[in-house]
């Protein structure tokens, strides 16, 4: 396994947060480790969809699967991720509605 450089790690984190389902998974795992079936129920997605997102998050190095018998429990790969999420939750952004309304055509937001 390769260790990501700082900029690469930030890009992976940004990619993970760019999807609402992956963001919800990370926020839930910030609180406590969980099993895929429980995460799917908490978030309100099917298990196959959740599985695809967990595979993405594992590939980005943000979560790890901890085998427990026939099941796997998921948790954040590093405690710093949980702290970073907590810090991001405290952000207050002054958003220009015109910019975000045009995001699809101008590439901003």
Mean per-residue pLDDT, 74-85: 94
Mean per-residue pLDDT over the chain, rounded: 87
Question: What CATH number does domain 6-106 carry, 1.10.10.10, 1.10.3720.10, 1.20.1290.10, 3.40.190.180?
Answer: 1.10.10.10
**Domain segments of the chain as ranges:** 6-106
Residue 8: band (very low, low, confident or very high) from pLDDT cuts 50, 70, 90: confident
Q: Taking the model in full, what pTM does it have?
A: 0.81
| Contact present, 36 and 50 (Cβ < 8 Å) | yes
The owner of tokens 């910019």 is: 99
Q: Over the stretch 60-69, which tens digit does the pLDDT of each residue have?
A: 999 999 999 9
Give the closest residue to 57 by CA, choosing from 99, 31, 90, 27: 27
């Amino acid at each position: 396994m390769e260790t990501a450089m700082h900029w690469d790690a930030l890009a992976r984190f940004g990619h993970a947060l760019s999807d609402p389902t992956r963001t919800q998974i990370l926020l839930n795992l910030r609180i406590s480790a969980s099993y895929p079936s429980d995460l799917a129920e908490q978030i309100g997605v099917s298990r196959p969809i959740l599985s695809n997102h967990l595979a993405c998050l594992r590939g980005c190095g943000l979560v790890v699967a901890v085998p427990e018998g026939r099941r796997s429990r998921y948790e954040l790969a590093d405690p710093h991720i949980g702290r970073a999420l907590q810090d991001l939750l405290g952000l207050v952004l002054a958003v220009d509605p015109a910019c975000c309304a045009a995001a699809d055509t101008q590439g901003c937001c």
